[in-house]
Structure 1
C-alpha cells in the first residue's frame, strides 16, 4: 500500500538522490548556504484531511504508526536549531548537512516499510478468515450421506466373496457391541455399533437395519432421544416390517411428546400384528391424550378470539356475549344468534 501523501513521496525521491549521487547533494547544500538570504522555510502543505486519509488506510495499525510518526516529528523539531528546517519540509537550510537529511529520510523510509509490512499481514489475516468462513463444517447427516456415497462407490468394485467377508466382520463387531450393551456400557456399545455399520456392506440391508435399531437402544439409554429416533427411522427405511424398531420409535416419539407420530407407529404395528396388546393399549391411551390436547388448544383459541372480538366491538357498546353460538346435535355444526341483552 502506498500512502497517499505528497511529502512521503518527496522523501522517497530524496532517498534515491542521497544513495545514488551523494556528491551532488553536498554541492546542493553548499549552494543553498551561499544563497541563505533567498531561501525560505517550506512548510508542510498536506492538509488535515490528507493525513486522516493516510491513517485510515492503516486500519488497526493507526495508533501505532501515528504515535511513531508524532514522536519522530517531535524529535526532529527539538533537534533542529534556529535557521534549520526538518526533513519533512523537503529542503535544508544552509546549516543543514546532507548527512542529517539522509538520516531523517532513512528514518521515515523505515517507518514506511513497517507500515507496508503491517498492511500485508492484515490483508493475509483477512484472506485466511474469509477462507475459513467459506468452508463451514458439515452436519452429521451430511457427513453420513457423503460417507455412504463413498462406501457405495468402493463396494461397487468388490466381489461377492469380499462383501460376505465384510458382513461377517460386521456381525462379529455387533456381537461385541451387544456384550457392552448388556454390561451397561452404552457409550462403548454405540461406538461398536457405529464401527460395525462402517464395515457392513450396504447390500446387507437386514443386518444394517438391526445395527441401527441396536444403536438406537443404546442412545435411548443415554437420553439421546432425537438421535435414537433417527436411527429407528433408518432401520425402518431398510426394513418396513421391522417390528422392534417400529415399537421402539413409537415409545421414543411418545417420550418426546410427539403424540400424533407415536399413535401412527402404534397403529402401523397393529396392522402388522393385531395381537399386540401393548400397542392396542397405547393406541387407546394416545387417542384420549390427543383429544384432550386438541380440546385444550380449541379452548385457548376461542379465548383469544373472544378477546379480539371484545376489543373490536367495545367502541360500539357491544361484546361477544351479544352473540350466542348453538350447536346442532344432528350435524354438529354451529349457528350464531344475536342477543340484545345477554345474561351474565
Structure 2
C-alpha cells in the first residue's frame, strides 16, 4: 500500500518545556507499574493451580489487554518527549489507531464477560462450581468472540480512515492518534466516518455496558435475598473489584467521547484521556490484588514477599 506523504504532530498534554521532564518521569513510572503489575497477575494465575478458574482466566486476559492497550500509546509519547520531536508518520498514526481501537474494544468486552461470570457464580452457584455453564469451552469461546469482534471493528474503522485525504493542518491535540481528532483534520467529506464511528461507539460500548448493568441487577437482587450477612458480604466482595474497574474505565472513556462532542476543549479531553488509557490499566493490578486473598497468596508464593 502506498501511504500518503503526511506527517502528524502530537501536541501532547503540555507544550511547556519545563514540564517535559516531569511528564516523562510520571508516565514512564506509570507505564512500568502497569506492565509489571499486570504481568505479575498473569504469572500468578498461570502458575497457581488454585487460580485456574473462569474468573481468573478472564482476569488474565484483561491484564494482557491492559498491557497492550497502554503500550499502544505511552511508549510513543515517551519517545516524543525525550527526543523533543512530536512528529508521527501517517502510517504510524493509522497503525496506532488500529491497535488502540482493537484493545479498547477488547477491554469493553472483557469487562462485560467478567460481569457475566460473576452473575453465574452468584446467581447459579451450583452450576458455576461444577462448571455446568462456565465450562472451559464456553470461556474460550467468549474470549475468542471478543477478539474477533474487536479485530473486525478496528479493521473497519481503520479502512474508513484510509479513504480520507488530509490537507495542511496536521496537529492532533492529543498524546496519541485518536480517531475522532484525526477525522476532524480531514479535508474530504467525513460524514460517513462520523456516522460509522458514533454508531459503532454506541453499539460496542452500549451492548457491553447493558450486559454489565443487567448482570449486576440480577446479582444485587440475588444478594438481597440471601439470609446470611456473611454470605452477602462474601458475594459483594467478589464483585467489588470488578465494579471498581468497570466504573473507572467506562465512566472516563465514555466521558471523553461525550465531552468531545459537546465542547471544543481539546486540552481537557487530552487530560481526561489519560484516565482510561493510562491510569485505569495501572490501577487494575492493585484493585484486584489488594482485594483478593487468592491473588495475594499466589503472589506471596511466587515472589516471596507478602502483598498488603
Q: So what's the TM-score if we normalise by structure 1?
A: 0.21
Q: So what's the TM-score if we normalise by structure 2?
A: 0.23
Looking at both structures, which has the greater relative contact order when contacts are Cα pairs under 8 Å and sequence separation is at least 6? 2
